[in-house]
């Protein structure tokens, strides 16, 4: 596969994108498989890192996701490039590439991966989810005991258990609301945050169907959870950066003009 063929494959996954350049470096890198230069909209692939064309394609899709993110975001993309938005874009592109038969997901075709995934899900993710749900059941018992003996549950969770009142209350809610432990504990936390029961069921179905946690969060938890994800905050920060640059350039210009005057030169 050459660089032109890889670019055509990427455009067959998603064609409605701004133009970009894609080049093979012809080198091997110990640090990264590829990189994206947003200022010139260029994808660089270190094609000597692998001889596997499928792995090369994955790197291409990853860097292509950066291009899509950078060129479609309504606000300037921060230096923290691997945001939830980025991972959602990447996972969507991978799903589309798999659906078109362009990219082969070896996690699903190689027996070693399939057996290990089965073991991890059944013996760890699901069991951990059940364990944490049962933990919530016992914490509810502790909560009721605190009420019975007129004691503070917050104090019990914080000082007696050393676990933390907020985490304890969250586990009680997970137990009370019957969150499905089959999705794993961290995904149970996500489902708990989805208040609408129908949306929660849809999110659970997506998680059980193999959609990534980031994709599910992006779809079902659209509310801003971090200043990094707040478009208004990002624009304010961008404005402040530009204003600082302007002030710095003005100060520099004044110094240059002052030096020119001292030397008897023209400032024009």
> What is the per-residue pLDDT for 240?
84
CATH topology of domain 3-99: Zincin-like (3.30.2010)
pLDDT at 237 over 80: no
* Residue 75 banded pLDDT, cuts 50, 70, 90: confident
Q: Which residue has the higher pLDDT, 66 or 239?
A: 66
CA distance 151 to 155: 8
Mark out the alpha helices in 100-196 (DSSP H runs): 111-120, 126-148, 153-155, 165-176, 185-193
CA distance 184 to 91: 20
pLDDT at 188 over 90: yes
pLDDT at 8 over 70: yes
Across residues 42-69, what is the average pLDDT?
96
pLDDT at 184 over 70: yes
- Burial tier of 22 (Cβ tally within 10 Å: 0-12, 13-18, 19+): buried
Looking up tokens 């989805």 gives 194
Q: Where are the domains of the chain?
A: 3-99, 111-227, 230-262
* Residue 227 banded pLDDT, cuts 50, 70, 90: very low
Q: Using one digit for the tens of pLDDT, what is the confidence trace for 243-255?
A: 888 988 898 888 8
pLDDT at 13 over 60: yes
> What is the pTM (predicted TM-score) of this model?
0.75
CA distance 135 to 142: 11
* Residue 265 banded pLDDT, cuts 50, 70, 90: low
């Amino acid at each position: 596969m050459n660089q032109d063929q890889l670019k055509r494959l990427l455009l067959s996954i998603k064609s409605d994108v701004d133009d970009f350049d894609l080049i093979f470096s012809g080198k091997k890198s110990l640090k990264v498989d590829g990189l994206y230069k947003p200022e010139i909209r260029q994808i660089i692939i270190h094609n000597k890192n692998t001889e596997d064309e499928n792995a090369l394609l994955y790197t291409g899709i990853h860097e292509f996701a950066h291009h899509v993110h950078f060129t479609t975001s309504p606000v300037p993309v921060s230096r923290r490039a691997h945001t939830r938005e980025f991972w959602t874009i990447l996972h969507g592109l991978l799903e589309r590439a798999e659906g078109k038969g362009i990219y082969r997901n070896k996690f699903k075709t190689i027996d070693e991966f399939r057996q290990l995934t089965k073991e991890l899900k059944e013996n760890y993710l699901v069991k951990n989810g059940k364990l944490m749900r049962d933990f919530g059941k016992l914490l509810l018992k502790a909560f009721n005991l605190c009420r019975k003996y007129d004691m503070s549950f917050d104090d019990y969770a914080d000082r007696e258990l050393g676990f933390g009142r907020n985490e304890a209350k969250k586990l009680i809610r997970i137990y009370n609301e019957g969150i499905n432990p089959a999705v794993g504990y961290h995904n149970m936390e996500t489902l708990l945050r989805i208040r609408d029961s129908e949306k929660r069921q849809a999110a659970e179905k997506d998680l059980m169907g193999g959609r990534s946690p980031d994709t599910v969060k992006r779809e079902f938890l659209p509310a801003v959870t971090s200043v990094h994800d707040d478009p208004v905050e990002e624009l304010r920060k961008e404005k402040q950066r530009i204003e600082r640059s302007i002030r710095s350039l003005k100060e520099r210009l004044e110094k240059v003009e002052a030096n020119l005057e001292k030397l008897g030169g023209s400032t024009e």
